């Protein structure tokens, strides 16, 4: 009976450790690929600086926005001016919006406009505010309202011309390797996986509670398990941060995303680690006092 009890505790502890570690890894990944994080990441990139430091980036950007550069060239507008335009908060915000919508569709299957009416209206509104702040022209309230109403009417009128995120299905299917990666990623980031992991943690803690109820030892056992998981995740994240600095020396979009993901992962694992240490300290203090009271009562 004692052997079976010990085996049960071992299995439940292992499940708790694996489930906790998985969540500590999964939460930062989910946060990294969220629409808001992708938009913030793109907006935070200093495109002009990156282009100056890496000529290859200028070639990639020029190729991606060739129509814009060609049209600007026709009017005698230099590449530097276009780069400054692309580096504006409004343009990067718009690029972040439709990039986030595309990634959201690929990972969740939620079809939507590449850029929504609200996002376009916000873009124009922010641009008007920036012109106001620059002192170039001061819009009156009714002028701004009229412009925004016109934009809203125009966007609504031509809404059907704005493509849906599903237009990228065909492009993804043309590359089986990328399609496979997206399918695996979509499966891992599915809400059901997170729910199953949370259930596994709750069940394993309740199981340990049932098997090690005496003197609250289940608290100590569960806390130490989560503590070890958080500690290993923290050390692994720090190691990846060091490795990232050795491998990547630029601040491209990819390195920005990796950097944000690892920093967020470090915050989550460190917070978990600190909370578990506090719980363990409280347990030791309470357990010691209870044990001391029992000894005094016996005497």
pLDDT of residue 212: 75
Interval 70-80 mean pLDDT: 69
Q: What is 149-190 written as a DSSP string?
A: HHHHHHHHHTGGGSPBGGGGHHHHHT-HHHHHHHHHHHHHT-
- The predicted-structure confidence for 151-162, as pLDDT tens digits, reads as follows 666 656 655 656
pLDDT of residue 168: 65
pLDDT of residue 161: 52
pLDDT of residue 92: 75
pLDDT band at 103 (very low <50, low <70, confident <90, very high): confident
pLDDT of residue 65: 67
pLDDT of residue 235: 92
Residue 107 or 164, more confident: 107
Each as own residue / partner, the long-range contacts of residues 217-226 (CB below 8 Å, 24 or more positions apart, any chain) are 219/279, 219/283, 220/280, 220/283, 220/287, 221/9, 221/13, 222/16, 223/276, 223/279, 223/280, 223/283, 224/276, 224/280, 225/13, 225/16, 225/17, 225/20, 226/16, 226/17, 226/20, 226/272, 226/276
Residue 215 or 98, more confident: 98
pLDDT of residue 107: 72
pLDDT at 6 > cutoff 80: no
pLDDT of residue 3: 72
Residue 299 or 90, more confident: 90
- The predicted-structure confidence for 235-283, as pLDDT tens digits, reads as follows 999 888 888 766 665 555 667 777 778 888 899 999 999 999 999 888 8
pLDDT of residue 147: 63
Interval 216-240 mean pLDDT: 88
Specify burial of residue 245 (Cβ count, 10 A radius: 0-12, 13-18, 19+). Answer: exposed
Which tokens hold the place of 86?
């692309």
Predicted TM-score (pTM) of this structure: 0.69
- The predicted-structure confidence for 135-189, as pLDDT tens digits, reads as follows 655 656 676 677 667 666 665 665 565 656 666 666 667 677 766 777 777 777 7
Specify burial of residue 117 (Cβ count, 10 A radius: 0-12, 13-18, 19+). Answer: middle
pLDDT of residue 119: 67
- The predicted-structure confidence for 194-212, as pLDDT tens digits, reads as follows 899 999 999 998 888 888 7
pLDDT band at 297 (very low <50, low <70, confident <90, very high): low
- The predicted-structure confidence for 19-56, as pLDDT tens digits, reads as follows 999 999 988 888 887 777 877 777 777 777 777 777 76
């Amino acid at each position: 009976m004692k052997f079976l009890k010990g085996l049960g505790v071992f299995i439940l502890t292992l499940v708790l450790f694996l489930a906790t570690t998985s969540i500590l890894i999964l939460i930062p990944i989910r946060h990294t690929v969220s629409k808001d994080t992708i938009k913030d990441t793109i907006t935070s990139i200093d495109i002009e600086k990156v282009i100056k430091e890496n000529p290859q980036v200028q070639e990639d950007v020029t190729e991606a926005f060739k129509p814009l550069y060609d049209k600007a060239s026709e009017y005698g507008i230099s590449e530097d001016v276009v780069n400054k335009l692309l580096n504006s908060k409004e343009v990067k915000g718009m690029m972040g919006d439709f990039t986030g919508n595309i990634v959201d569709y690929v990972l969740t299957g939620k079809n939507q406009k590449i850029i929504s009416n609200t996002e376009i209206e916000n873009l124009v509104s922010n641009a008007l505010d920036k012109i106001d702040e620059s002192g170039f022209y001061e819009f009156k309230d009714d002028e701004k309202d009229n412009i925004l109403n016109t934009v809203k009417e125009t966007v609504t009128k031509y809404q059907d011309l704005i493509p849906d995120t599903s237009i990228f299905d065909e492009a993804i299917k043309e590359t089986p390797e990328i399609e496979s990666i997206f399918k695996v990623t979509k499966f891992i980031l599915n809400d059901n996986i997170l729910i199953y992991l949370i259930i596994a943690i709750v069940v394993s803690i309740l199981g340990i509670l049932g098997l090690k109820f005496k003197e609250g030892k289940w608290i100590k056992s569960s806390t130490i398990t989560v503590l070890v998981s958080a500690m290993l995740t923290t050390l692994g994240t720090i190691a990846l941060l060091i490795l990232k600095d050795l491998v990547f020396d630029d601040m491209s979009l990819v390195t920005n995303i990796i950097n944000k993901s690892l920093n967020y992962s470090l915050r989550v694992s460190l917070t978990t680690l600190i909370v578990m240490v506090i719980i363990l300290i409280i347990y030791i203090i309470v357990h010691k006092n209870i044990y001391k009271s029992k000894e005094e009562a016996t005497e």
